[in-house]
């Protein structure tokens, strides 16, 4: 499969079986994330793999949606603002950017392994903070649901044409 085929294979899955993801596949996905590029190679991320029923329930409090609760595994991608590179001219932190690149590596690696994923940012940060401990300089960027897909969507999601998103100057 070439890269374009892989990117077309990846989509936001919202229906999972209860089948457990094999540890070797999870390790592969995390290894792909570990090699994601980051500004000045600072690698400000931390990945929290949530598998236990107790911690899955705590995570579901942060985003109480039925489909979200069906995922057998979650990866919470956190970033550390004390580690992330900042652009000198305007002090813009690249923490979120670096985390986003790692998140997409996770989603693409999962798709390659036949595992569905969905990148979720719309969760309750205050509930997350009360349920999980992070360093003061860390914060969660996204929760990625993962699992074997129960029902695949029909067709591909609509995408804008290149002419709508590309300018040549």
**CATH number of the domain at 3-165, please?**
3.40.109.10
User: Cβ distance 77 to 144 under 8 Å?
Assistant: yes
| Choice between 167 and 151, residue whose per-residue pLDDT is larger | 167
| Choice between 9 and 101, residue whose per-residue pLDDT is larger | 101
User: Cβ distance 128 to 140 under 8 Å?
Assistant: yes
**Residue 160, exposed/middle/buried by CB under 10 A (0-12, 13-18, 19+)?**
exposed
Quote the tokens at residue 111: 């798709």
Render pLDDT for 68-84 as a digit per residue (tens, 0 to 9): 999 999 999 999 999 99
Confidence check: pLDDT of 157 > 80 = no
Cα distance between residue 124 and residue 12, in whole Å: 20
**Domain-wise residue ranges, the chain:** 3-165
Confidence check: pLDDT of 155 > 70 = no
Residue closest to 73 by CA, chosen among 149, 151, 150, 145: 145
Confidence check: pLDDT of 150 > 90 = no
């Amino acid at each position: 499969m070439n890269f374009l085929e892989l990117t077309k294979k990846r989509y936001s899955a919202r229906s999972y079986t209860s089948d457990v993801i094999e540890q070797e596949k999870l390790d592969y996905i995390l290894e792909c994330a570990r090699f994601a590029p980051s500004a000045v190679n600072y690698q400000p991320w931390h990945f929290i793999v949530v598998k236990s029923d107790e911690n899955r329930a705590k995570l579901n409090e942060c985003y109480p949606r039925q489909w979200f609760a069906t995922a057998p595994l979650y990866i919470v991608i956190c970033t550390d603002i004390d580690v992330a590179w900042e652009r000198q001219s305007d002090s813009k932190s690249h923490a979120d950017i670096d985390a986003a690149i790692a998140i997409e590596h996770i989603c693409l690696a999962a798709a390659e392994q036949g595992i569905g994923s969905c990148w979720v940012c719309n969760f309750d940060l205050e509930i997350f903070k009360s349920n999980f401990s992070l360093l003061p300089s860390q914060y969660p960027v996204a929760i990625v649901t993962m699992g074997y897909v129960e029902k695949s969507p029909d067709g591909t999601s609509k995408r804008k044409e290149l002419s709508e998103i590309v300018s040549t100057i």
